[in-house]
Amino acid sequence: MYGISGVCRVAKIGKPQFASGDHKKLYYTLVPEYGTETIYAPVDTTVFMRPILTKKEAEELVSKIPDIPKGDCSGRSISVIKERYESALKAHRCEDLVGMIKSIYAKSREAARCGRKIGQVDQRYMKRAEDLLYGELAVSLGIDREEVVPYIEKAAGVAGE
């Protein structure tokens, strides 16, 4: 996992063609699993990086989904809500992403019940959280990204969470 870019594969470590100056500085050449860009990150970067979940860790996470509490996405102030969402994203924890998704999904159901839709901020952060979480689970579990939600529903016994 690289920052909030999601799952990336390290294609190589070395000095990219464009790099000038420090000839000893090494870079990771990262290829996002779900994207078309190439990322060049110095090996001593301060951007968050971690290995993806193992298959066993992904299975354990999925089994815990019903017990993971919803995140706090309440409030009237858009800036407060955005701050809470950003905090969940920057924590780089799958459990926080699950809580955020569950919270926004509940908010969406409530809005639909009242004949409304959730706001653009909620929609945008829901998509980011789903992209990060489902992308990592797909790679960890060895399934297509489109299969992640049905996998969760079946394995965790949840529907639409």
- Given a cut of 80, is residue 73 above it in pLDDT? no
| All structural domains of the chain | 1-51 (no CATH), 55-156 (1.20.58.1290)
Q: What does the pLDDT look like over 114-147, one tens digit per residue?
A: 999 998 999 999 999 999 999 999 999 999 999 9
Q: What does the pLDDT look like over 7-26, one tens digit per residue?
A: 999 999 998 877 666 667 88
pLDDT for the residue numbered 77 = 85
Residue 129, exposed/middle/buried by CB under 10 A (0-12, 13-18, 19+)?
buried
Contact criterion met (CB below 8 Å) for 46 and 60? no
pTM: 0.86
What average pLDDT score do residues 144-160 get? Answer: 84
Name 10's bridge partners.
30
Residue type, 123: Q
